[in-house]
């Protein structure tokens, strides 16, 4: 350990060792040394013994932030503390390298944009800073970190201890990168205990108890807890809900409001939408649930305690054991799976991007499952209302009819139908067919039978009938039901789910508008008629395409004149008129009177009276059963 009278120039000239560290002691200042690491960092350290014990080391600061004169002043203060029998490492530092100041800087610079910023700050303030009050960050050792983490784990908070260790590891790693400390004292430490994965799911009886207790819980937490039950959303997603995020029958959250940073749409069931409609609005506040009008609701722990107490009163004084607010999400997911909702749809409801939607699937599978999520949450709301025997919730469902169950848009809002300009004629045709009651009844009968067979042995069923639709759940786009006389009734070979309008094109391909079949013979173009109106054309792919198309047009025209007696003209499409018809049908299904339909903007320039609405309704109903050629 070299000793020399250090000068400012000498400190700057000292070169780092090839490996490890080297200490250069300042002659005339016992115990004061400049520690130089092989990476080039330089720091001032003070070696001392307290009460004649083992040799200790205190980092005073880093060069050049702490110059030679400052280091000698800090050494003098530390030496005086040792002379008084005090540990200089425990003194409150006057420099910016205290643990508290570095932690605050880390939160501001590295964690400010993280959604967990508030929770990390709370953990540091409650469990770390009090233990290391007045400590310089460079004085904290691996033993200090272990003692802190073990202390938290010993009080039974193993999960919290693991989180504290993770937070400290990131903090110290950041401090190393900023040149504040030389090494990370939390690196490669053993983790306390084992990670505890929660699996708490409320039974139906427990869910009913919580639902009814929420009904009697004071504003704003009563309806808030019920909305969490109905949507399965995260606590902060509903707790910080803004009025601007509610769009009629859905909640739309931006990426900044979700855990995974992705925008998330939460369809509202009839019960959830009615619950929101009845909520009071606090002044001009943007928040739905607020007590101040300026900030979203807080005090979850107190609210949960009040809810538990209310639940215990209705449960013979027995408290529900070991459940948290977040467990309501798991309860919804488990309950949905139990009532027949597919895993993909459940993950979409929860806003998950892992599981079945992770990896390559998540990159290429971009379907949003909006219609399926709507149907799933409607089914879940019916289940909750049913087990809770909630007359008010059932009344809401009766009042609003069955339209939401079948994925029918809000007839008062034309934009809720989406961009109808992009709909094919097959899609328009399907929209009218799926509004027929016999179509829905046929599908429900098949669905009930299919679910029963799936429960009895899905593998046997799939191996016996290995077509594609049987690898889908009934509530997924593309699933088709094998309904007797389906073609005769609906013009389709198999029946898709009437609750889903946006079906893959191949399951709503009405034969009257099918693309046709193509064969590839070895030579020539030939046209042959194989029945009343079917023609199969063979193409010679060695011929130029324009010539093939022109010859094909001539052959088709000749076949039409010969078999039908005339050339068939394209049917006129009337998308604007068809949309009016759909909205009138949906208005009638939702229970709207003819007078109410006439008084809305649906008829679009027609006579605004009940008779006009009745005439349009008859025309719309006719389209459901006979589509124009």
Question: Tell me: the pLDDT tens digits for 291-308?
Answer: 888 899 988 888 999 999
Mean pLDDT of 13-29: 89
Structure tokens, 428: 């328009």
Residues 172 and 211 occupy one common structural domain: no
CB atoms within 10 A of CB 491: 17
Distances (CA, A) of 586 to 291, 425, 593: 39, 19, 11
117: domain CATH number is: 1.10.150.130
Angle at 85 between CA 80 and CA 87, to 5 degrees: 80
CATH number at residue 389: 1.10.443.10
Give the C-alpha separation, 283 to 408, whole Å: 34
Of 454, 478, 512, the one marking the end of a domain is 512
Q: How many CA atoms lie within 13 A of 235 on its CB side?
A: 13
| Beta sheet of 55-63, edge-to-edge order | 3-4, 21-26, 32-37, 42-49, 55-63
Co-location of 56 and 116 in the same domain: no
* SS3 of 418-469: CCHHHCCHHHHHHHHHCCCHHHHHHHHHHHHHHHHHHHHHHHHHHHHCCCHH
Let me know whether 231 and 342 are in one domain. yes
Q: Which of 164-173, 362-371, 485-494, 567-576 has the highest mean pLDDT?
A: 164-173
Q: How far apart are CA 10 and CA 21, in angstroms?
A: 17
Q: What pLDDT score was predicted for residue 170?
A: 93
Among the listed residues 476, 471, 267, the one whose alpha carbon sits nearest the alpha carbon of residue 351: 267
Distance CA 482, CA 328 (A): 37
Asked if residue 608 lies in contact with residue 598, where contact means CB atoms within 8 angstroms, the answer is yes
The residue among 210 and 552 whose pLDDT is bigger is 210
Quick one: 341 and 482 in the same domain? no
Compute the average pLDDT of residues 197-214: 88
CB atoms near residue 340 (< 10 Å): 17
Least reliable range by pLDDT among 117-131, 228-242, 530-544: 530-544
Say which residue the tokens 């609210």 belong to: 303
Q: Is 124 left (phi over 0), alpha (psi -120 to 50) or beta?
A: alpha
**323 in any annotated domain:** yes
User: Are residues 370 and 235 part of one domain?
Assistant: yes
Domain boundary among 479, 512, 545: 512
Q: Give the contacts of 275 (CB within 8 A, at least 6 positions apart).
A: 223, 226, 227, 230
SS3 labels along 345-413: HHHHHHCCCCHHHCHHHHHHCCCCCHHHHHHHHHHHHHHHHHHHCCHHHHHHHHHCCCCCCCCCCCCCC
Separation CA 258–CA 237 (nearest Å) = 7
Report which DSSP code applies to 242.
B
CA 293 distance to own-chain centroid: 27
Residues 365, 419: one domain?
Answer: no
Domain containing residue 420 = 414-512
Euclidean distance between CA atoms 187 and 142, whole angstroms: 8
Last residue of a domain, one of 90, 117, 134: 90
Res. 60 pLDDT band, cuts 50 70 90: confident
**Amino acid 392: pLDDT:** 53
| Residue-level pLDDT at 168 | 94
CA distance between the termini of the chain: 99
Residues 231 and 380 placed together within one structural domain of the fold: yes
- Inter-residue contact 617 to 594 (CB < 8 Å): yes
CA distance 409 to 435: 12
- Determine the distance from the C-alpha atom of residue 606 to the mean position of all C-alpha atoms in its chain, rounded to a whole number: 44
Of 290, 383, 397, 287, give the one whose Cα is nearest residue 336: 383
Q: Rounded to the nearest 5 degrees, what angle is found at the Cα of 627, between the Cα atoms of 626 and 628?
A: 120
pLDDT of amino acid 515: 42
Bridge partners of 42?
36, 63
pTM recorded for the entire structure:
0.47
State the average pLDDT for the chain. 81
Interaxial angle between packed helices 221-231 and 300-313, expressed in degrees from 0 to 180 and rounded to the nearest 10: 90
Tell me if 150 is assigned to some domain.
yes
Q: Is there a contact between 471 and 462 (Cβ–Cβ < 8 Å)? A: yes
Residues 6+ apart with CB under 8 A from 376: 336, 341, 345, 346, 349, 475
> What confidence score (pLDDT) does residue 386 get?
84
* pLDDT band at residue 479 under the 50/70/90 scheme: confident
Is 584 domain-assigned? Answer: no
More confident residue, 546 or 95: 546
pLDDT of residue 367: 66
Q: Counting Cβ atoms within 10 Å, is residue 32 exposed (0-12), middle (13-18) or buried (19+)?
A: buried
- Tally of domains in the chain: 4
Q: Which of 214-223, 517-526, 590-599 has the highest mean pLDDT?
A: 214-223
> What's the rounded mean pLDDT across residues 365-390?
81
Q: Is residue 540 in a domain?
A: no
pLDDT at 571 over 90: no
* Vertex 232: Cα angle to 450 and 390 (nearest 5): 80
Do 365 and 434 have their domain in common? Answer: no
Q: Identify the pLDDT of residue 516.
A: 43
- Say if 532 falls within a structural domain: no
Kindly state whether residue 508 falls inside one of the protein's structural domains.
yes
- Same structural domain, 108 and 215: no
Residue pair 471/464 in contact (Cβ under 8 Å)? The answer is no
Higher per-residue confidence, 372 vs 354: 372
DSSP 244: G
Sheet with 250-253: list strands edge to edge. Answer: 246-247, 250-253, 264-267
Structural tokens at position 228: 């969490």
CA distance to 164, 473, 489, 595, per residue, from 408 (Å): 49, 20, 22, 21
Nearest Cα to Cα of residue 7 among 73, 72, 95? 72
541 within domain boundaries: no
| 564 has pLDDT over 60 | yes
Nearest to 212 by CA among 336, 335, 307, 319: 307
Most confident of 326-330, 505-509, 595-599: 326-330
Comparing 171 with 527, which gets the higher pLDDT? 171
CB-CB contact of 337 with 348 (8 Å): no
Are 164 and 263 part of one and the same domain? no
Interval 70-91: pLDDT, tens: 899 889 888 988 888 888 877 6
What integer is the mean pLDDT of 521-529?
A: 44
Question: In this model, does residue 460 exceed pLDDT 50?
Answer: no
Characterize 230-267 residue by residue with b for buried, 16 or more Cβ atoms within 10 angstroms of its Cβ, and e for exposed.
Answer: bbbbbbebbbbbbeebbeebbbebeeebbeeeeebbbb
Q: How far apart are CA 227 and CA 240, in angstroms?
A: 13
The pLDDT of residue 507:
86
Q: Is residue 518 very low, low, confident or very high in pLDDT (cuts 50, 70, 90)?
A: very low
Q: At what angle do helices 300-313 and 204-215 cross, to 10 degrees?
A: 110
* Torsion sign across C-alpha atoms 259, 263, 267, 272: positive
Cis, peptide link before residue 64, omega less than 30° from 0: yes
Please report the pLDDT score of residue 203 as a whole number.
92
- Beta carbons of 286 and 242 less than 8 angstroms apart: yes
Which range (14-18, 42-46, 388-392, 563-567) has the least confidence?
A: 388-392
- Name which of 232-246, 506-520, 604-618 the model is least confident about: 506-520
Question: Are residues 350 and 371 both part of a single domain?
Answer: yes
Report the alpha-carbon distance of residue 122 to residue 119 in Å, rounded: 5
Question: Do 30 and 129 fall within a single domain?
Answer: no
- Establish if 218 belongs to a structural domain: yes
Residue 224: the pLDDT is 94
Task: State percent of the chain over pLDDT 90.
Answer: 23
Q: What's the pLDDT score for residue 432?
A: 94
């Amino acid at each position: 350990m070299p000793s020399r009278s250090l000068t400012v120039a000498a400190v700057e000239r000292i070169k780092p060792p090839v490996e490890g560290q080297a200490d250069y002691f300042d002659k005339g200042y016992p115990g004061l040394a400049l520690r130089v690491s092989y990476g080039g960092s330089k720091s001032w350290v003070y070696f001392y013994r307290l009460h004649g014990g083992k040799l200790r080391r205190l980092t005073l600061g880093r060069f050049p932030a702490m110059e030679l004169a400052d280091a000698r002043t800090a050494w003098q203060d530390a030496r005086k503390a040792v002379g008084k029998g005090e540990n200089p490492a425990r003194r409150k530092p006057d420099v910016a390298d205290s643990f508290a100041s570095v932690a605050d800087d880390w939160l501001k610079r590295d964690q400010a944009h993280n959604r967990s910023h508030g929770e990390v700050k709370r953990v540091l303030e409650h469990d770390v800073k009090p233990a290391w009050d007045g400590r310089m960050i460079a004085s904290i050792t691996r033993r200090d970190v272990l003692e802190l983490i073990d202390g938290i784990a010993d009080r039974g908070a193993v999960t919290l201890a693991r989180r504290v260790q993770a937070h400290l590891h990131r903090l110290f790693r950041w401090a190393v990168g900023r040149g504040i400390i030389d090494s990370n004292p939390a690196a490669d430490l053993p983790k306390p205990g084992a990670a505890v994965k929660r699996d708490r799911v409320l039974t139906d009886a427990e869910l009913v108890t919580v639902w009814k207790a929420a009904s009697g819980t004071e504003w704003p937490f009563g309806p808030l807890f019920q909305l969490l039950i109905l949507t399965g959303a995260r606590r902060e997603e509903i707790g910080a809900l803004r009025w601007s995020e509610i769009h009629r029958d859905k909640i739309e959250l931006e990426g900044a409001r979700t855990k995974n940073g992705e925008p998330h749409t939460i369809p509202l069931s009839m019960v959830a939408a009615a619950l929101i409609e009845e909520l009071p609005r606090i002044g001009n506040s943007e928040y739905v649930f607020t007590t101040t009008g300026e900030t979203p609701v807080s005090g979850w722990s107190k609210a949960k305690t009040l809810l538990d107490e209310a639940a215990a009163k209705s449960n013979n004084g027995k408290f529900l054991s070991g459940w948290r607010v977040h467990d309501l999400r798991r309860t919804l997911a488990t309950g949905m799976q139990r009532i027949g909702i597919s895993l993909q749809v459940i993950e979409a409801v929860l806003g998950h991007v892992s599981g079945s939607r992770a990896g390559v699937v998540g990159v290429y599978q971009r379907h949003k499952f909006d219609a399926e999520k709507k149907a799933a949450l409607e089914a879940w709301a019916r289940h909750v209302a049913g087990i809770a025997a909630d007359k008010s919730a059932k009344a809401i469902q009766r009042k609003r009819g069955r339209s939401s169950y079948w994925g029918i848009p809000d007839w008062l809002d034309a934009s809720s139908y989406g961009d109808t300009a992009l709909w094919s004629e097959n899609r328009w045709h399907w929209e009218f067919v799926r509004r027929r009651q016999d179509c829905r009844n046929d599908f429900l009968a098949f669905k009930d039978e299919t679910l029963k067979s799936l429960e009895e042995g899905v593998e046997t069923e799939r191996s016996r009938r290995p077509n594609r639709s049987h690898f889908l759940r009934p509530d997924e786009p593309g699933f088709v039901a094998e309904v007797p006389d389906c073609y005769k009734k609906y013009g389709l070979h198999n029946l898709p789910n009437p609750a889903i309008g946006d079906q893959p094109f191949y399951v709503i391909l009405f034969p009257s508008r099918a693309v046709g079949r193509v064969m590839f013979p070895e030579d020539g173009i030939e046209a042959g008629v194989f029945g009343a109106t079917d023609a199969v054309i063979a193409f010679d792919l060695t011929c130029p395409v324009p010539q093939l198309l022109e010859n094909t047009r001539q052959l088709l025209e000749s076949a039409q004149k010969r078999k039908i007696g005339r050339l068939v003209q394209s049917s006129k499409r009337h998308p604007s008129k068809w949309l009016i018809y759909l909205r009138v049908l949906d208005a009638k299904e939702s229970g709207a009177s003819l007078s109410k339909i006439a008084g809305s903007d649906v008829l679009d320039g027609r006579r605004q009276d009940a008779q006009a609405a009745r005439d349009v309704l008859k025309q719309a109903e006719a389209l459901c059963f006979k589509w124009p050629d």
